[in-house]
Amino acid sequence: MVTQFSDSNTQGGGSQPAAEPCVLVIFGASGDLTKRLLMPAFYNLVCDGLLSANFAIIGTALDPFTTESFREKMSTDIKQFSTRVEFDQKSWDSLCSRLYYTPGSFDDDANFARIAEMVAKVGAEYNTGGNVLFYMATPPSVFGLISSKLEKSGLSAATGDSGGWRRIIVEKPFGTDLPSAIALNREILKYWKESQIFRIDHYLGKETVQNIVAFRFSNGMFEPLWNRNFIDHIQFTVGEVVGVEGRGGYYDRSGVLRDMIQNHMFQMLAYLCMEPPASFAAEAVRNEKAKVLEAVRIMDADAVRLNTVRGQYGPGHGPDGKPAPGYREEPSVPPESNTETFAAMKLNIDNWRWHGVPIYLRSGKRLWKRGTEIIVQLKTVPDVVFKGTPVEALEPNRLVFHIQPDQGIELQFQAKTPGPVMSLQKVNMRFDYGESFSASRGTGYEVLTYNAMNGDATLFSRTDLVETAWRIAQPMLDVWKAEPGGFPNYPAGTWGPKAAFDLIERDGRKWAAIMTRETLQKIPLFEAVDPVMLSSLIMALKPAVFQPGEMIMKKGEIGRTLFIISRGDVEVLDDAGEVVATLGDGNFFGEISLLMSAPRTATVRANSYCDLYMLDKSDFTRVLRDRPKVAQSLMEIATKRYNITVSPDKLLEED
């Protein structure tokens, strides 16, 4: 099921065999998907020796390319969208020589006659054994039309002495609601068997998503804990800092529930919560995914209102701090749009393993931090043994799956701090993909297309999986369509609407804010710091909570702490107590105190309930002491940005 891509240029990639021979026909070959994701993926497969020498691509679309001009365009585009550090011209030339193109309309019988003739000719030239893979890089509205034309032209069935197989890959969305998904499946199944259909979800091509399954079923220390007896709850966050990025027309017909939650997040949730399959055979895995999704409790209208939250971003700021428009001000978005750009929900799985374990999901655009994380929080142990010690409360153990931008797995637990007093600090053990493996970064389509060529459907959705996911989402779509959303209800650059926090906090829980290296590097002091030190600094961060009106720091007091705002907003006050600035989610202040203990130059007050991260100078110094060269570079940054001159030796001294 899982294929790893290295920098090998040997046929078969060393331990992995090359994909089966075939002719790949791409419908919609002139579009963005082909140049941005598919061609870079096939190029990576060639570089890694995982694409058969008996392979060729035929592209077709309305654009009037010839084979020669199509090759020229792809040769230009690959230089821009390749994911490899170094470009291998020899490997690209090998792939480019196998690209062909024929223009035409999807409703034109003559076009399909030309495609059939080209498939036969190219298949014979490359000895593909009659195998043909059709890739529908098109809107779902033409899946049926293309399939009918393929059947009419004889392309959808193997013919002649060569035999061979026929398969199709179809891109999401697999419908826009439950009725349309059922109709789409029925239309496709008129022309294809279920075993021939590969419904692709690029999220499932990510190594970290596939590693959820490997992690669960290959490590004996965790599987016995994977149930209601030990797990308190699960959190799943997919945050994006960007808006709709010029796709306002498409996104307004979709929204975050259709675009992200119903497909990507539900599929990953199935991997996380399914029962152990009998094997990693495709049907065994997909059967268990289907069972767990079927066990998700379907909400009625009242449950939707109680257990879901939706939001739409208004004007605010982007990740660069510059003003960002509200969703309704984005191009091609109606000024009164009721489409959600944020959603949060609490799901329940009604089976033996997960009964009583709430699963919280949230996803949105224009949030303050980019990241995809799954957090499995274990139940806390009794704290009676710590009575009479400085320990006031025990932090829960958490297992964190970092999907993107950082890729890895983290276990958070408690450890005693050095000294004669029983005092605890949160620490972690972390596995990082970038540090452990040297595989080239891919698009996610490498694994999926490789598996489709080999007939392995493990990572692809089946008819029942698609329809079950829509059954979970349909009540939300119905209620949200019938009732106004009160939009916009969160500013761009924040963590979403307040109601999303109320959703989880009324259960006595909190969204866990996971700091990433990417986020920490937004602080100018850390922008050139290496990944290992960034990870050490993240471990040194401590959470803090401030109530509205509470002073966080006062002008004149000696500063020894950097603050990062995870949630909420603070006010910067002048000497007269007047507000001169307001800082919100993702902002920071007090970084100079890490360089030198000096009087604060401003007073900062919590304007709302605030969740902050704190980095103390003592912890910063401890991390820095192991990296004297970094200390020198930090001082250069400090001199340039803050006009502060402190020697590295002074910086490394304890307060």
Transcribe 628-640 into DSSP letters.
HHHHHHHHHHHHH
Residue 412 and residue 64: Cα distance in Å, rounded?
56
Residue 501, in any domain of the structure: yes
574/477 same-domain check: no
CATH of the domain at 138: 3.40.50.720
Q: And the tokens for 497?
A: 């609407």
Transcribe 96-116 into DSSP letters.
HTTEEEEE--TT-HHHHHHHH
Q: Are the C-beta atoms of 228 and 471 separated by less than 8 Å?
A: no
Q: How confident is the model at residue 4 (pLDDT cuts 50, 70, 90)?
A: very low
491/528 same-domain check: no
Query: Kind of pairing, strands 99-103 and 55-61?
Result: parallel
Catalytic option among 202, 233, 264, 402: 264
Pick from 505, 525, 550: which residue ends a domain? 505
Residue 310's CB is within 10 A of a number of other CB atoms, namely 29
Residue 13, in any domain of the structure: no
Residue 3, in any domain of the structure: no
80/213 same-domain check: no
439/524 same-domain check: no
477/499 same-domain check: yes
450/534 same-domain check: no
CATH of the domain at 420: 3.30.360.10
pLDDT tens across 416-428, in order? Answer: 877 788 877 777 7
Highest mean predicted confidence (pLDDT) among 51-60, 172-181, 381-390? 51-60
Residue 195, in any domain of the structure: no
Residue 9, in any domain of the structure: no
Residue 38 and residue 29: Cα distance in Å, rounded?
9
What local confidence, expressed as pLDDT, does residue 15 receive? 67
609 has pLDDT over 50: yes
Q: Are the C-beta atoms of 396 and 508 separated by less than 8 Å?
A: no
Query: Kind of pairing, strands 316-317 and 342-347?
Result: unpaired
161/218 same-domain check: no
211/131 same-domain check: no
Residue 371, in any domain of the structure: yes
Pick from 465, 481, 505: which residue ends a domain? 505
What local confidence, expressed as pLDDT, does residue 10 receive? 34
224/266 same-domain check: yes
505 has pLDDT over 90: yes
Q: Are the C-beta atoms of 63 and 103 separated by less than 8 Å?
A: yes
- The yes-or-no answer on residue 264 being catalytic is yes
pLDDT tens across 240-289, in order? Answer: 999 998 889 989 999 999 999 998 999 999 999 999 999 999 999 999 99
Pick from 505, 539, 557: which residue ends a domain? 505
pLDDT tens across 378-387, in order? Answer: 998 888 788 8
Q: CB-based burial of residue 88 (10 Å sphere; 0-12 exposed, 13-18 middle, 19+ buried)? A: middle
Domains identified in the chain, total number = 3
Q: Where in the sequence is the domain holding 64, given as residue range(s)?
A: 22-171
Transcribe 164-228 into DSSP letters.
--EEEEEESPS-SSHHHHHHHHHHHHTTS-GGGEEEE-GGGGSHHHHHHHHHHHH-TTTGGG-ST
Q: Are the C-beta atoms of 50 and 82 separated by less than 8 Å?
A: no
The residue with tokens 């829960």 is 396
CATH of the domain at 634: 2.60.120.10
Dmax (CA) for the chain in angstroms is: 90
Residue 466's CB is within 10 A of a number of other CB atoms, namely 26
158/54 same-domain check: yes
Q: Are the C-beta atoms of 323 and 243 separated by less than 8 Å?
A: no
Q: What is the 3-state secondary structure (H, E, C) of 567-583?
A: ECCEEEECCCCCEEEEE
What local confidence, expressed as pLDDT, does residue 179 receive? 97
Residue 516: name the closest of 543, 494, 538, 496 by CA: 538
140/276 same-domain check: no
Alpha-carbon distances, residue 215 vs 208, 445, 458, 514 (angstroms)? 10, 22, 17, 20
Residue 178, in any domain of the structure: no
**Mean pLDDT, to the nearest integer, of 12-27?**
84
Residue 476 and residue 481: Cα distance in Å, rounded?
8
Residue 139, in any domain of the structure: yes
Q: How confident is the model at residue 374 (pLDDT cuts 50, 70, 90)?
A: very high
Q: Are the C-beta atoms of 610 and 643 separated by less than 8 Å?
A: no
376 has pLDDT over 70: yes
567/427 same-domain check: no
